[in-house]
Chain A
Amino acid sequence: GEEVAQTPKHLVRGEGQKAKLYCAPIKGHSYVFWYQQVLKNEFKFLISFQNENVFDETGMPKERFSAKCLPNSPCSLEIQATKLEDSAVYFCASSLQGSRTNEKLFFGSGTQLSVL
């Protein structure tokens, strides 16, 4: 597709439940990024993929967060046993290449996760 598609738009979970978010990058884009936007408008980098391989996961909380980008499937971000502080908007972005000449990131409209 021509835009980054994130689903669902809103997700409500009780504390301790699992949450799974999906992202379909723009067709042909090799890089996918996940960001977490918390209440103070700060964007925290979580993880990036180059095709189906993890490129950088330095921002991922080790214990409860996991992510995948499998061939011919949307990428996913999964949170096991959600906590109240996981409430945020999760943005996915994709880009064509990891080079200076094609550095534009295209962002999806985000998934609002509310943990109650």
Chain B
Amino acid sequence: GNSVTQMEGPVTLSEEAFLTINCTYTATGYPSLFWYVQYPGEGLQLLLKATKADDKGSNKGFEATYRKETTSFHLEKGSVQVSDSAVYFCALMDYNNAGNMLTFGGGTRLMVKP
């Protein structure tokens, strides 16, 4: 079956620090990969995605590259801000009979201090 594993948090950084949140996956097919962000008290928002190997998704200074050889999709940002404090979820979507069903990782809480 499909699964997503991401580093456990919380990750605590100072403003302007470099961020990496690791994500690895297992899938039976050729999935699309996503990062979702959940700000306090809110639902999930799509942050970025990549649909095939070597694709790089990027948005709001965040980047992640689809690495098929290492089955990874690590999230990076060069300089985090306090407003980036949230929970980040790595997810995959595999095209089987379940349509658009997402498989999520366990989430990583990021706390950025001024």
Assembly CA distance A107 to B38 (angstroms):
11
**Residue B106 contacts which of A42, A97, A105 (CB distance < 8 angstroms)?**
A42
Q: Which residues of A have CB within 8 Å of B44?
A: 91, 93, 107
Inter-chain contact A108/B93, CB cutoff 8 Å:
no
Q: Which residues of B have CB within 8 Å of A41?
A: 87, 89, 106-107, 109
Chain B interface bracket (under 10, 10 to 19, 20 to 34, 35 or more): 20 to 34
Q: Which residues of B have CB within 8 Å of A40?
A: 106-107
Overall SS of chain B's interface: strand
Inter-chain contact A108/B43, CB cutoff 8 Å:
yes
Inter-chain contact A43/B98, CB cutoff 8 Å:
no
Assembly CA distance A103 to B87 (angstroms):
22
Chain A interface bracket (under 10, 10 to 19, 20 to 34, 35 or more): 20 to 34
B46's nearest neighbour on chain A, judged by CB, is: A104
Most chain B CB atoms below 10 A, which of A42, A93, A103 = A103
**Residue B100 contacts which of A58, A91, A95 (CB distance < 8 angstroms)?**
A95
**Residue A100 contacts which of B36, B42, B95, B103 (CB distance < 8 angstroms)?**
B95
Inter-chain contact B43/A109, CB cutoff 8 Å:
yes
Inter-chain contact A103/B43, CB cutoff 8 Å:
no
Inter-chain contact B99/A31, CB cutoff 8 Å:
yes
Residues of B participating in the A interface, judged by any CB pair closer than 8 Å? 32, 36, 42-46, 49, 51, 87, 89, 93, 95, 97-104, 106-107, 109
13 CB < 8 A contacts A-B: A33-B100, A41-B109, A45-B101, A48-B98, A48-B100, A48-B101, A50-B99, A56-B98, A93-B102, A104-B46, A107-B45, A109-B43, A110-B43
**Closest 5 pairs (CB-CB, A-B):** A98-B99, A41-B107, A43-B104, A107-B44, A107-B43
